[in-house]
Amino acid sequence: MKKFCVFISVLLIFAVHVSADVSVKKLGDGNIEVTFFYGNPRAQEVVIAGDFTDWQNGALPMTKGEKGWTYVRIVPPGTVMKYKFISDGNWTEDLREPDKVDDGFGGHNGLVDVDVLVAAQSKSENAAAGAKRAGNLKFSTWSMLGYQMKWGDGTKDAKSDFDSAGLNLYSYLKISGEALPRLPMYIEVAVAEQKGFDNLYKRGKTDWADGWKNLLVDTIFDPIYYYGGQDKAKSYLGHLKMGLDTPYVNWTTGYKYAKLSPHQNVNWNTVDKEWEAGYNEVGGFNQFDFAPLFAKVLADTGVEADVVIAPNRSADRAGSQYGMYTYGWARFNIADFPQYIDLQYNGAYGKTYDRIFKEVMEHDIILGYQGIYGPVTVKANALWNRYGSYDNGDGTKTLYAPASSDVGLVDDNDNNFGNNSASNVNVSFGSDTVKATVGYRHRGIQANMMYVEQGADDHNNITDQLGFRNTQVIFGGADVMLLDNALTVGLDAQFTTVLNKDKDYYYDETTKFNNKDTALIKIKPHAAYDFNPYFDFPAKVDGYIRFDAVTKSDDEFKRKDKSAFIVAEAGVRYNQTFDTTVVKGLTATYAFDNLG
């Protein structure tokens, strides 16, 4: 036992004398003098090897001094070096290295980032052993708590009856930054993603007393369960989204309820920020973004570009169907006029790994262009679809229906370009006092856009962007700013007609026009006033009213009586900000909807 203790003591004494340091000194010419020190004067020969010496192939001798061995190297700012000592033929890690990285053999290489050491030295800190580059993680949270009351349940008889009331919470925790030096990462955790507003009162199901009791008890005892919607917890993770940034490609992956990374192609959002990786607790996606590579390649050219490739099993949002979206864009100038072009491909494939490309259900090609010519901006988008069907193996087939879409079952033999396409072309003018836009858009009977929600979670992002099926629309609008821009008045208008009279013509997502010669006209005057310029009062009020009219009696609006003209919508909103720590703002809104 004594021998063992003595042996440990000798090792400890020896370790005290074997030390190493890295120090830096900024030279007058801007370069950095880096001094490596290995504190073992008993060693007979010490060399330094690193990525700057081709490791052992070009290892450099260190100079022996009274207290140990030194090596001095002059490098420019921004230099990063990996290194190790070789003492009497033995690879030796610097135990006081400024930083370290895995050497791939179960140990570590020392890491010197001269900019970090110089910065630490300039702050009168120890630029040697204690100046390790630290991780830099940032934590943030985003939460939205809402309260809603609802009258009616969609039926005519219950239109004025009080139906439901409740609280709704969306809350996310996000961690981003560098987990370790040069290891950027981010983690997103969904704390609550509640659906609906009926947890305080629901006609025929929950009365007010039970609702408030439920709120009080569960807020105290299990708030995440309550504000998460009181649904049974799913197995494993609610969702996971993480990624890694490198000098050439940024990688992101997501699982279950994690959302795809959104993309906007000029007029259209072509990858929806609400599209899940797989809401059936399966599926997921990978995304490879080559922005860092293109930034290097196109540096100093005046051109910006990017390519993103995202293979996934998220084509149906449920996580059951393989798919892909990929897009590339470029931004450049022609004669000092900014230009932007965008090309995207979407694909929906098979549902099993062995038939992934044997069952190609959908192709989307999406083009986008924007040009800015002084006060005039030109925007254009075009979409074209091709569809497939499921082969049942017995000479029959099952038609394909795009996920989260209003299209329904598609005809894969329909080669009419108009039926399988959509477009939006508009020209706008902007000045200090006037803004105006005029444009045209169309949508074929089975034009669809993958990775964009329609009907899910109360989102209508396909029809909001493309319009309703088999329609074409001429639209325009103008705003005029008056009273030093305190007052804005404007008018928007739309004129809608059928695109192809051989197909059904849709008034909304499900309702068809009775007469294919009917034109729908919408006129919406609006105004807004900012009290601050004239009254030094931080408040704004804005409002609008929309009138709808049809040209054929077959499609007149039915309220108490039939009419070709109605007041369709109206609304007014008041917003005020407060310079207090508790209350930051107040928004009051009144809305009238005569279309439901």
Residue ranges covered by each domain of the chain: 19-126, 136-228, 239-435, 470-595
Answer whether CATH 3.30.70.100 is correct for domain 19-126.
no
- What pLDDT was estimated at residue 230? 67
**Under 8 Å CB-to-CB from 574, ≥6 apart: which residues?**
539, 540, 541, 586, 587, 588, 589
pLDDT of residue 283: 78
pLDDT score of 158: 57
pLDDT of residue 463: 95
Q: What pLDDT, on the 0 to 100 scale, is given for residue 6?
A: 35
Q: What is the mean pLDDT of each run of 10 residues along the chain (596 residues)?
A: 35 40 90 92 88 89 91 93 88 81 68 87 55 60 80 64 84 73 72 77 88 76 66 58 85 84 93 87 85 91 92 88 93 92 95 80 97 96 94 87 93 94 97 96 97 86 95 98 95 97 92 95 97 91 97 89 92 92 86 84
Residue-level pLDDT at 487: 96
Long-range contact pairs involving 289-297 (C-beta distance under 8 Å, separation at least 24)? 289/249, 289/250, 289/251, 289/252, 289/261, 290/248, 290/249, 291/250, 292/245, 292/246, 292/247, 292/248, 292/249, 292/250, 293/247, 293/248, 293/249, 296/247, 296/248
pLDDT of amino acid 150: 84
pLDDT, position 136: 63
Please tell me the predicted confidence (pLDDT) of residue 221.
Answer: 57
Which stretch of DSSP H or E encloses residue 384?
strand 376-387
Q: What pTM value is reported for the model?
A: 0.67
Q: What is the pLDDT of residue 4?
A: 35
Residues 6 or more apart whose CB falls under 8 angstroms from that of 487 comprise 481, 527, 528, 529, 530
Give the whole-angstrom CA distance, residue 256 versus residue 314. 9
Among 371, 365, 375, 312, residue whose Cα is nearest residue 343: 365
Tokens for 260?
Answer: 């795809």
Q: Is residue 203 a contact partner of residue 163, using CB atoms and an 8 Å limit? A: yes
